[in-house]
Chains A and B, each alone.
Chain A
């Protein structure tokens, strides 16, 4: 296949055609050649029309003919250089906005903390050792700080930790029989029905099952590993191609959900983690459609509305759910 003609190339050719037709007005041969160039190409036809309109607009200048006054209205403005307001997947863009406010943190004792989040709640909590936790929806964490070790029990849900450096006191997250140890690093742990997911954003952590510490796996920044519920040993971590992928998966920290080639069904399941109002996809084929997009965790309605518009589907809001169906 030929390389696609660029919009700029088309615009330039269109201007040349206007010049040619202006020189040879009414010439049937030129007209026929022009029609041949235009063909059925919507872009060429659009570009030619645009160039014609610009050419016609310049006729306005005829009033400037000798004898007609003209006073310049203002100095020419500098030409606009349009900055893209934001790149779709630009790294820093994730920090954009947070819809959820923090409500402080709970204390069990001076050094123990229990952190619980409700459905849809996302909390950023400083830990007493100087570490920091971003705690996702429906999560329960118990933090115990001992002289020799810092323990965090993740009973359910998901959290991302920015661990304060302290060589003497390793930071260990316990989730079921899975252990994740860090000294000074940043990583996320998510407990699901099927197992525990570990994603590392900085430094290195070690992951093992209780009783199998000898077979601990090292997981470095930009990589993730999933430890299933079956009592098998921890497998080598899957290295994720780029840390951008992990940033995307952890965009909940700033109250956002980012999708990139996920199916509509997967996206709906993500929203349902955060919201009382559940998204229901009535037609499985709709659920298979892939999509790219960024939303706030607490706006399932915006997501469904957008999906309905794009997929030419129907969105119906009920008291406790939003149904996406074919017309």
Chain B
């Protein structure tokens, strides 16, 4: 029983970190991805993001982290550096890019105001974007709080269908998170504009 109790404590702790990642980190993932893609091939950027989450999963505590956004950028940066050092050929431009981190990783404060409301709206949009049966299952599971078995009973379908749809819906939601909600694209456009302004001495 002693072991089980420790597990519970750990489970609760892990759940807290997970909730933090869900509400604080995931919303910035698309920006980090856009930033990584400035210098990495898309598939390399994906690898970096997965490795970054693996590092975050290993955190003992998140209370000391002031900005989840900056933390995600910094973690991705260290993964890129690790990979570059392992690579045979050194891609120096990437390092120059990631030296710009301070600028890119800043918290866009106005956007984070009313974060709770925004997050709720986001969750609603993500669920609403699912195909019909999927959406119904997610509503019953996440809004009504039913278990998968109860959802199956309520809808009169086999339990494995519910499990399949949960998997399918979550894949779609993860993709939507990866693509961001127009925010990343705007940020990139903004950065390009700044850069053009800097380069305006060009005579060509």
Contacts and interface: CB of A to CB of B under 8 A. Distances in A.
Interface in B35-53: 37-39, 43, 46-47, 49-53
B53 A47 contact: yes
Interface residues of B, number: 89
A282 interface: no
B183 A80 contact: yes
A61 B143 contact: yes
Q: Chain A at the B interface: mostly helix, strand, loop or mixed?
A: helix
Contact of A60 (B34, B120, B191): B120
Contacts of A289: 90
A318 interface: no
Interface string A28-47: 00000000000000111111
A96 B202 contact: yes
Interface stretch (A67-75, A105-113, A146-154, A205-213): A67-75
A232 interface: no
Contacts of B118: 73
B22 to A, nearest CB: 3
A244 interface: no
Contacts of A220: none
Interface string B97-136: 0010000000000000000011111011111110000000
Given A60-B123, A70-B124, A86-B38, A49 B164 contact: no
Contact of A295 (B38, B96, B121, B127): B96
Contact of A23 (B21, B53, B166, B201): B166
A254 B119 CA distance: 46
B167 A18 contact: yes
Interface residues of A, number: 80
Given A61-B142, A73-B121, A12 B171 contact: yes
A259 interface: yes
Interface string B75-92: 000000100110011111
Interface of A: 6-8, 10-12, 15-16, 18-20, 22-23, 42-47, 49-65, 70, 72-74, 76-86, 88, 95-99, 101-102, 124, 254, 259, 261, 264, 289-295, 302-303, 305-307, 309-312
Ordered nearest first, which 10 A-B pairs have the shortest CB separation? A57-B22, A7-B46, A293-B92, A46-B54, A97-B199, A46-B53, A19-B167, A46-B50, A19-B166, A49-B57
